[in-house]
Structure 1
Amino acid sequence: MAFPLLHMRLFPLALALSLILPAPGAWPYLDPLTHPSADHWELVGGDWSADQGSLDVDPGAGALAHLKGLEVNDFQLDLEIKADARSEVGVIFRGQKLDSKPDAYEGGEVRIHPGENTIYWDSVAKTRKPIAHRPLPIESDQWYHLRIQAAAERVRIYLESSPITSDSWPIFDGVEASFTKGDIALKASGDQASFRNLELREIRSRPLSDSFTNPVQEGGADPVVLHDNGKYYAYTTHTARQRGRTQGIRLHTSTDLVHWKDEGFALKDRDSWGDHGFWAPDIVEKDGTFYLYYAAQERICVATSNSPMGPFRQKTKEPMAPDSIKIDAHVFEDDDGQCYFYYVSFGQGNEIWGGKLNDDMVSVDPSSLRKMLGPDEAWERHQAPVTEGPEMIKHQGIYYLTYSGSHFAHPEYAVGYATSDSPLGPWKKYAFNPVMKSTSYARGTAHHCFIESPDGKEIFIVYHRHQSFTQVSPRNLAIDRVRFVPDPAGGPDILQIHGPTSTPQPMPSGAH
């Protein structure tokens, strides 16, 4: 369906940032890094200078500048950094063993690599443990504002090409408990890196009075959410697949997107073609009838009900034609009332196709069917070449075809998107996909839909994540905030996701 919400103003995340407050009577430590004092800084490795209005280094294999005598535990760090395309630049925080070799330290580490257009967050001890990394548009030899907020085990990391404000969203908002206190150091490797305008403040955390923490519901995979008459209906893949047990599409209900009630099966196998493999539902309403689209035995079926609660049944127990229509159905209604049907077919891997849905809502115009996109990028090919779970949204006249990449069981299952000025393409994939990907604290984060908050002022992505670091199923339901931000390069607005999160977040706006 078209999303009128997506045409509204951007909304700030200031309410979420109220978790972090300056500690009363705290330092801060301020250093422009134009004339670093030997009393405060110990330089290890590299060739350092400070005659260009910043602290510059030719780091070679590695260099760090250790801020001496200032141990931190809960803090906010602000710093400007830049590097050339062959270099990495960043910060070690809550660090230890910083006085010997540039590569002998332990602690948390955040760094950017302009040549790879990537930001990294690691935990370094005897071995390096990746926490999270994301592709971002990072220019070489350009200053970036880096902010790190650490309060107990919660860490939030921001990166902006302009000053960070209360409207800024973190790149990462996660949990890492390996190091709780230690020193600060500036770190670089490669050919050329620079630092300026360091600011360190102590902070304290204050619990939110009304919050949620992901996951919000156990056992909800491949979710699609309908908002009807003040209630949310989440239709999901049901994990139990043993033969002889009831199969079908599971239903949960909520009034706030956070607290869910299991309502049992909205559709049971006895009311449908097929007897197993009931996956990945989608739902729309037209003229008082609710149409539930779902896969059964790797073919898409459509069942109907006069209530979003179901029960949904097929009038004629058969899958949609043609037989190339396999799994992961999605229906999008454009502004002119024309409905489009998207699905996954099996070609060179899992490919997303689309076409026009006929007025009967259960058949497609076969002459309109065409391939939308396929798994031709590295992030879409972990374990298997897969692009799946299509979900369309429209913003300022641009069509955003969002989807999941890689095998659902792989930890790198992730969300990306492509844009077009037509609902059937041609499509241009966003250059810095994926826009939401797995971390050490949230794995397999994809197969999603979008829905408004109860008062319509916010957008949320509803998605599933793996049960744990080592276990895929039963997959669990999670929600996070979404917005559109201007593209500095002048392209279509960028779809930005504040997630995946595993830390307390403010309740959806309008939730009671």
Structure 2
Amino acid sequence: MQKILVSFLVSLSLTGYAQKSGNPVFKGWYADPEGIIYGQKYWIFPTFSAPFDKQVFFDAFSSPDLVHWTKHSRILDTTAVKWARRAMWAPSVIQKGNQYFFFFGANDIQSDKEKGGIGVAVASKPEGPYRDYLGKPLVDKFHNGAQPIDQFVFHDKDGKYYLIYGGWRHCNIAQLKDDFTGFVPHADGTTFKEITPEGYVEGPFMFIRDNKYYFMWSEGGWTGPDYCVAYAIADSPFGPFKRIGKILQQNATIANGAGHHSVIKSGNDWYIVYHRRPLTETDGNSRETCIERMYFDEQGLIKPVVITTEGVEAKKIGK
């Protein structure tokens, strides 16, 4: 009987059914991960987590099953973006036609007098190499008090594309032009509309489920134990967004500072991709990328995410 059980477990492992990703899902210090599906692969585009002056490039990771990850090194760096010199952060990558547009923050500007902000790069493949699309930042000023960082590109069900972004406790939404070279003013004549919910700090993300707009963000300090993810639900990408509560936070027995996330829907399964800091680490830049399952209750509310060291089971796209 014992031999049969061992044989069965080995068979499960070989076929991938018993495999799990483990957390972190790949080696190295990486943060602010955007997870997305292109073709038959899962992709994660993270920030290289290091002192700001060393954040001069982006790596990417791809996987057929959420378990086995391939690293794509330096898909974009400061040699391709002449105006960027440091603090390259929080990629958001969107496919339009046969091209992939890579939105990123650079230079951590502290005022309108500094050069930097949110840029755009473009490539013919998800893994790049990417080249600077505009030759200058797309957003280089503080609008409504929002630092131009932590950009997320949202493709609405009506075909419109929006840039949702902002640090310093302010979040803006702006409609992108079809060619991503600028913005289309809103009906009231403004370009950057503030949609900041209670508790917002940074790291916005949005998705649609059952015709409702789920808006998520990070709260607390990125180097502290209070870093977490909260959310709201509305009938429009413009809100109003009333904070419902936290759904991702640290577990003092597993890891600290769980936050700045993204969401992947694969078939009927939902996943949250996020970063956290191991208990053994005191350096704020020692952040690792992890994945967990994300569930909803009968009312459509997001259940609190349980952070683990095991990660998620293998799942191929379309299965």
Give the TM-score taking structure 2 as reference length: 0.82
More displaced 10-residue stretch of structure 1: 215-224 or 409-418? 215-224
TM-superposition CA deviations, 1:175-198 (whole Å, max 9, x none): xxxxxxxxxxxxxxxxxxxxxxxx
Match of 1:496 among 303, 308, 314: 303
CA distance in 2, matches of 1:246, 1:464: 17
- Structure 1 residue 394 displacement after superposition: 0.8
- Structure 1 residue 459 displacement after superposition: 1.1
Equivalent residue number for residue 212 of structure 1? 21
Change (3 A) 1:275 1:287: same
2:48 counterpart of 1:226? no
Equivalent residue number for residue 236 of structure 1? 46
Structure 1 vs Structure 2: percent identity of aligned residues? 28
Q: Which amino acid aligns with 2:265?
A: E
Given that 2:19 and 2:67 are in contact with CA atoms closer than 8 Å, whether structure 1 keeps it comes out as no
Match of 2:237 among 408, 416, 423: 423
SS at match of 2:79: helix
Given that 1:241 and 1:247 are in contact with CA atoms closer than 8 Å, whether structure 2 keeps it comes out as no
2:141 counterpart of 1:323? yes
CA distance in 2, matches of 1:494, 1:365: 32
Given that 2:66 and 2:312 are in contact with CA atoms closer than 8 Å, whether structure 1 keeps it comes out as no
Equivalent residue number for residue 355 of structure 1? 174
Equivalent residue number for residue 410 of structure 1? 224
Given that 1:283 and 1:292 are in contact with CA atoms closer than 8 Å, whether structure 2 keeps it comes out as yes
Equivalent residue number for residue 93 of structure 2? 283
Match of 1:394 among 204, 208, 212: 208
2:256 counterpart of 1:438? no
CA distance in 2, matches of 1:322, 1:241: 22
CA distance in 1, matches of 2:139, 2:269: 37
Given that 1:467 and 1:474 are in contact with CA atoms closer than 8 Å, whether structure 2 keeps it comes out as yes
| Equivalent runs, 1:59-458 vs 2, <5 Å | 209-218=18-27, 219-241=29-51, 243=53, 247-272=56-81, 273-298=83-108, 299-321=117-139, 323-324=141-142, 326-346=148-168, 350-366=169-185, 367-374=190-197, 376-377=198-199, 387-430=201-244, 433-440=245-252, 441-453=254-266, 456-458=267-269
SS at match of 2:122: strand
CA distance in 2, matches of 1:345, 1:242: 16
Give the TM-score taking structure 1 as reference length: 0.52
Unaligned runs of 5+ in 1: 1-207, 378-385, 488-492
Change (3 A) 1:300 1:269: same
SS at match of 1:301: strand
Q: Tell me which of the two structures has the higher relative contact order, counting C-alpha pairs closer than 8 angstroms and 6 or more residues apart.
A: 2
SS at match of 1:323: coil
Given that 2:101 and 2:123 are in contact with CA atoms closer than 8 Å, whether structure 1 keeps it comes out as yes
CA distance in 2, matches of 1:422, 1:292: 25
SS at match of 1:409: coil
Given that 1:458 and 1:508 are in contact with CA atoms closer than 8 Å, whether structure 2 keeps it comes out as no
- Structure 1 residue 439 displacement after superposition: 1.0
User: Higher Cα Rg: structure 1 or 2?
Assistant: 1
Q: Where is the strand percentage greater, Structure 1 or Structure 2?
A: 1
Give the ranges of 4+ consecutive aligned residues of structure 1 lying more than 6 Å apart after TM superposition.
none
SS at match of 1:434: strand
Equivalent residue number for residue 275 of structure 2? 464
Change (3 A) 1:484 1:509: farther
Equivalent residue number for residue 103 of structure 1? none
Q: Which amino acid aligns with 1:485?
A: D
Unaligned runs of 5+ in 2: 1-16, 109-116
CA distance in 2, matches of 1:242, 1:428: 33
